[in-house]
Amino acid sequence: MDIQNNGRQFYIGEEKDPKALLAYEPIDEHTVRAYHTVTSKELQGQGVAGKLYEAFIEYVKKEDLKVQADCSYVRKKMEESEEDKKYRV
């Protein structure tokens, strides 16, 4: 599974018509806002959203960012992990 990052979303498939995505945007130089996660019907139930989240959180950690989790899926995943919680604003 090839996960891409274009600076606004982690996605699978074509950038303009992804099969799954986790969208985010910078708020400032230290914070990003995760606001949407979606998976196409054909990929649902395969753990794809979790893989997108893992790629996103690795990016956050590598770049030493904080996350404003407006997406309910990202918020839930961050709350489930003690380590990931410290990256929330």
User: pLDDT for 6-42, tens place per residue?
Assistant: 999 999 999 999 999 999 999 999 999 999 999 999 9
What residues contact 21, with CB distance under 8 A and at least 6 apart? 9, 10, 11, 12, 36, 37, 38, 52
Q: Is pTM beyond 0.75 here?
A: yes
Answer for the pair 68, 34: CB distance below 8 angstroms, yes or no. Answer: yes
Three-class HEC string of 4-36: EECCCEEEEECCCCEEEEEEEEEEECCEEEEEE
pLDDT of 1 > 90? The answer is: no
> What's the pLDDT score for residue 86?
95
Residue 64: Cβ-neighbour burial (10 angstroms; 0-12, 13-18, 19+)? exposed
